[in-house]
Structure formats: C-alpha cells, structure tokens
Amino acid sequence: MKVEPLNKNHDRAAFDCGNEALNTYLQKTARQHAERNLSRTFVLTDADPSIIISYATLISCEVEPAEIPASWAERYPHRFPAARLARLATDSRFVRRGYGTHLLVDMLWRVAEAGRNVGFVGLFVDAKTDELADWYAAFGFVRLTQRPLTLFMPLETIAVAWKAE
C-alpha cells in the first residue's frame, strides 16, 4: 500500500464511497484546491497505483477557544491555528478492511511532522455520523461538548502517539 498526494494519474472518476459530496470533491475539486494551496489531498493505492482505495484531505483552520474543551482553551486566549481533517473516505469496494484506519494513521503522522515545523495546536475532524465520531474517538480524538460530531486531538497527543516529538 502507498499513500501519496493526489495527482492526474489517479482514476478519480472510478471512486465511489457512497457519499455524493465526498465523491464530487475528489473528482472535481481536490486537485484544483491543491494547486491553489487551499488543501492537500492524499490517496491510498495498492497494486494498481491508479485505483484510489481511500482518500483524505488536510487543511489549516483558525479556531476560537470556545470551540475546544475548557481545559485546553485556557491556554489560548485568542483565535489560534489548527489542522483539520476535512475529508476521509474509502471506496465502497474496499470498506471494512482497515484502509481508512491506515490512511488516518498516515494523516496523524503527517500532522505530527508538520507540527515540528509549523505552529498549531492540534487536529480537528468533523464526523458525519455518531458511529464515525465513535470511530475517531477510539483513536484518541475528544468530542467537543458543544458540537459532538466535531472532535479534537491536541498536537501533544499526536506527537507522543506517533513519536514525532
């Protein structure tokens, strides 16, 4: 398996995760956003490097202290920078085989590496369902009280977990 930035050699048209918005983003928007430095989309491939098994998009964002747990917000009196896992999807042909987990681990590693060189406080993710929020929570993400489908993992946790201190 290989994780790499989305490029023109990947068959975006064949990707179908069952969610039209996620499919459309990959097929029509992801490459343009990367070219404009708005986001970075990474794909997981295997034997045929043109077939996209799963994809994830990372972006930067600004967050209000009120959006995170109070125990962390005390340290941040003003808006602060963070990373956001904007999208994570697996093609329907490959679900429930651990590919999403593989890609999430890779994204956490990339965020830990970025955190060594760029100042930000952690990684946010917006889950589409409670079931997905539980899935992210199993990796150590914490649900936000005000918005339970939004989860957060501090950079310190990521760095320790992925040994990128």
Instruction: Give tens-digit pLDDT for 51-86.
Output: 999 999 999 999 888 777 777 777 777 888 999 999
- Least confident range from 31-40, 50-59, 146-155: namely 146-155
- Distances from the Cα of 11 to the Cαs of 16, 23, 47, 121, in angstroms? 11, 12, 14, 34
Domain range enclosing 146: 2-161
116, pLDDT greater than 80: yes
Instruction: Give tens-digit pLDDT for 86-113.
Output: 999 999 999 999 999 999 999 999 999 9
Which alpha helices (H) appear in 50-98, and where do they start and end? 70-73
How many structural domains does the chain have? 1
| Bridge partners, 109 (sequence order) | none
Q: What is the DSSP letter of 26?
A: I
* Pairing of β 122-126 and β 80-90: parallel
165, pLDDT greater than 50: no
CATH assignment at residue 88? 3.40.630.30
Instruction: Look up residue 63 and give its two tokens.
Output: 């967050």
Averaged confidence pLDDT in the chain: 91
Residue 65 has a pLDDT of 81
Q: Classify 142 as helix, strand or coil.
A: strand
Give this prediction's pTM: 0.90
Q: How confident is the model at residue 137 (pLDDT cuts 50, 70, 90)?
A: very high
Quickly count: other Cβ atoms within 10 Å of residue 66's Cβ: 9
